[in-house]
Structure 1
Amino acid sequence: MKSTMILLLITFALSIGVSAQEDYKDKRNLKEHYTNPEKHEVSRLPEKSIPIGTKPRNIILMIGDGMGTAQLFAAYTANGGALNITNLPYSGFSTTQSADDYTTDSAAGGTALSTGQRTYNGAIAVDVNKKPIPTILEIAEKHGKATGLVSSSAITHATPASFIAHNVSRNNYEEIAADFLKTDIDIFIGGGKSFFEERKDGRNLLKELEEKNYRIFDSLSQAENYHHLPMAILTAPKHNPTYPERGKLVQEGTAKAIKALDQDEKGYFLMVEGSQVDWGGHENNTAYIIKEMLDFDKAVGKALELAAGDGETLIIVTADHETGGMSIESGNFEKGEVHAKYTTGNHTGIMVPVFAVGPGAEHFTGIMKNTDIFHKMMYLFGFDE
């Protein structure tokens, strides 16, 4: 009886840990109206034209988690009719269905983008038979390219995890963290520090990373004057706060990663995630969505500023799915005002936008599957499948 009770308590404690990472899905905080108090300038695109058929040395894949066309247009309206994202010259749409559901989750959605295969909801870079699938990040590593991840969530959360880990469940955060040690990723920035050092198995992955010559930092400011790879910047025990409370983490993290990775002569692959657009969608909170969208757009602006002019970097901006069934009832460009309605507190199955600039950007037009984005990146990098 005593052993049964202990087992139940352990199971309960573990479930609290998991739910603490996923509880944003259950917080309903309906806010239909938002007025943006401060508009940001958008970056000018480089005037240098890139011949059709040119292939990139570098790829930056930027994922606005939960970003559908309504989220995008809400931010566009709130910023006075201008975004960095909507300035990208090539655009299309991606269908988002998973292997087992019309409506994907972030794990299956991320896996489709990272591996070119659709899988079951909850899967982290494993196929429907739970077998690991190589990711674009791992393949880039094998070809000698530098690699990086930036996220406003825990770095072990579904989307970033699907580029570096292989697991049957997105909820196995400690196992996902351990998979970082199986790669040679050059830089990763995000929350989730506790999954590396406060673990059930007693391992301290931060020490193990240091043994692999990583420098570990707790903040971007702490790493400001350090420019050598590899490095890990773990900015929160679990998830980072919302924007603007967390500061310019995504914007400055994007800049830090690009500057560090660009030192590699063979080029790089970088994935940047604006995680919390999705969380605002789960809450049906217009203010939350727009603030996160504007933060993500500023990160896109950083990528454009630092990389778009070199003629060697392809920047792709897309989403894994839409969240909230958001629609815009009314708005005002001049006032930066948006009034929205919602059909659900969960994800939906609608298509999501895709934007691109740089060598190979012409491949990202029309209607495509989420898996096509992986295959196009593989082709443009010149990798065999």
Structure 2
Amino acid sequence: MKNRILQFVLLFLILPATGIVAQENYKTVDAKFEYQNEDFYDVKIYAEDELKFKKHPKNIILLIGDGMGVSHVFSGITANKGKLHLQNMKAIGFSKTQSSSHYITDSAAGGTAISSGKKTYNGAIGVDADGNPLETILEIAETNNKATGLVSTSAITHATPASFIAHQPKREMYEEIAADFLNTDINVFIGGGESFFKERKDGRDLTKELEDKNYQVFNKLDDAKNINSGKLAVLTAPEHNAKFSERGEMLQEASDKAIEILAKDKEGFFLMIEGSQIDWGGHQNNTSYVVGEMLDFDKVIGQMLEFAVKDRETLVIVTADHETGGMALMKSDISEGFVKAKYATGGHSGVMVPVFAFGPGANEFMGIYENTALFDKMLKLYRFKK
């Protein structure tokens, strides 16, 4: 009888967490230390000092490579025979990532620090260390009549994108995070997580509520290919999107779609694009996964740089929320695109992460500073008053 009671208690405790486990199942170590690239691509080089950028940006595109440390960047450079689009970005700094509660941050606290300019505890989404809501750069941009957007290869309710639009005490509150999207007028969001909008414990269908707010809602990016104006929500997977080798050019196409719509706004825009799964490769100590995601992310960087060069009023920032895996590059070969790595951990590390910038105001991002300074610098360059 005691055993049956114990089994019931354990089942009661486990069942509510199943959704959480499903969202975090990318953290199982699947160590693969070598990667041989077979899909090389050309990189366009810009003479940035010859480009006549405006003094202040009208638009900011913030690209976050989740878990992307210096070794992850150089693994991509190695795999593509010495060249990445990222290398066009000459203004380079470093961000210190510690949270208010831990030396080693998680994506929720790291994302919130970048989005709001305030340190908070691990697991917090858009709230301070005392649980009070924080206004984010996306919300401030919206208040200042700019168009806004989020794109991610994870669920759009996952920690990094959520920290720009939601305000919840725990990152695992995916349904509550999804409901927070209805409290804003974000113009475009594209990513996974459809189940948190439709298959909810409270019975609400948030996709219908989005439609009532004049959003065009789709669950396939291809179905939105003819949409070039208005508000758009594309929920591309029930939970997370597939890895780079299976999802095709989803991130490139989603980023281009977001730009196509946001660039029509005369007041400018703010767009955050996350390459989520660089982090997941680091958690798995899987070099193939890390490098494949890094190259996929760099192709999007190339697209955003091309837009910025033509536009001359767009600042492009590339950074990370933290480093994942303690990745170290071993005896690799740039001439062959071969990468070999080892890892210190299956979790995050506490090292600084790089910050790259290109366009009007790029030099503001040079130096070493706290991750919260990214928010302050964006606010300053937009000339917003909080």
Map 1:220-299; keep pairs closer than 5 Å: 220-299=221-300
**Which amino acid in structure 2 is aligned with residue 190 of structure 1?**
G
Helix, strand or coil for the counterpart of 1:332?
coil
Q: Cα distance, 1:307 vs. partner?
A: 2.8
Aligned pair in 2 of structure 1 residues 46, 178: CA closer, same or farther (>3 Å)? farther
Between the aligned partners of 2:94 and 2:155, the Cα distance in structure 1 is: 27
**Which amino acid in structure 2 is aligned with residue 217 of structure 1?**
F
Between the aligned partners of 2:6 and 2:225, the Cα distance in structure 1 is: 50
Q: Cα distance, 1:327 vs. partner?
A: 0.3
Partner of 1:61: 62
**Which amino acid in structure 1 is aligned with residue 14 of structure 2?**
F
Q: Cα distance, 1:87 vs. partner?
A: 1.7
Q: Cα distance, 1:251 vs. partner?
A: 1.0
- 1:22 maps to which of 24, 28, 42: 24
Aligned pair in 2 of structure 1 residues 206, 358: CA closer, same or farther (>3 Å)? same
Q: Cα distance, 1:244 vs. partner?
A: 2.1
Partner of 2:354: 353
Q: RMSD of aligned C-alpha atoms? A: 1.8
Map 1:1-385; keep pairs closer than 5 Å: 9=11, 11-25=13-27, 27-45=28-46, 48-50=50-52, 54-385=55-386
Q: Cα distance, 1:129 vs. partner?
A: 0.3
Helix, strand or coil for the counterpart of 1:273?
strand
Contact kept, 8 Å, 1:66 with 1:277, in 2: the verdict is: yes
Aligned pair in 2 of structure 1 residues 179, 5: CA closer, same or farther (>3 Å)? farther
Between the aligned partners of 1:285 and 1:5, the Cα distance in structure 2 is: 36
Between the aligned partners of 1:349 and 1:148, the Cα distance in structure 2 is: 29
Q: Cα distance, 1:229 vs. partner?
A: 1.8
Unaligned runs of 5+ in 1: none
Cα deviation, 1:47-77, whole Å, max 9, x if unaligned, reads 65236x8110000000000000000001100
Between the aligned partners of 1:46 and 1:144, the Cα distance in structure 2 is: 32
Contact kept, 8 Å, 1:43 with 1:304, in 2: the verdict is: no
Q: Cα distance, 1:159 vs. partner?
A: 0.1
Contact kept, 8 Å, 1:278 with 1:289, in 2: the verdict is: yes
Between the aligned partners of 1:265 and 1:302, the Cα distance in structure 2 is: 21
Helix, strand or coil for the counterpart of 2:168?
coil
Aligned pair in 2 of structure 1 residues 382, 339: CA closer, same or farther (>3 Å)? same
Q: Cα distance, 1:89 vs. partner?
A: 1.8
Helix, strand or coil for the counterpart of 2:233?
strand
Contact kept, 8 Å, 1:32 with 1:286, in 2: the verdict is: yes
| TM-score between the two structures when normalised by the length of structure 2 | 0.96
Aligned pair in 2 of structure 1 residues 38, 5: CA closer, same or farther (>3 Å)? closer
Q: Which stretch shifts more, 156-165 or 299-308? A: 299-308
Between the aligned partners of 2:147 and 2:62, the Cα distance in structure 1 is: 14
Cα deviation, 1:240-290, whole Å, max 9, x if unaligned, reads 000020111111111111111000000000000000000000000000000
**Which amino acid in structure 2 is aligned with residue 281 of structure 1?**
G
**Which amino acid in structure 2 is aligned with residue 13 of structure 1?**
L
Between the aligned partners of 2:44 and 2:217, the Cα distance in structure 1 is: 32
Between the aligned partners of 1:82 and 1:257, the Cα distance in structure 2 is: 26
Contact kept, 8 Å, 2:308 with 2:359, in 1: the verdict is: no
Q: Cα distance, 1:109 vs. partner?
A: 0.3
Aligned pair in 2 of structure 1 residues 6, 201: CA closer, same or farther (>3 Å)? farther
Q: Cα distance, 1:6 vs. partner?
A: 8.0
Helix, strand or coil for the counterpart of 2:271?
strand
Contact kept, 8 Å, 1:308 with 1:315, in 2: the verdict is: no
Helix, strand or coil for the counterpart of 1:331?
coil
Between the aligned partners of 1:184 and 1:3, the Cα distance in structure 2 is: 48
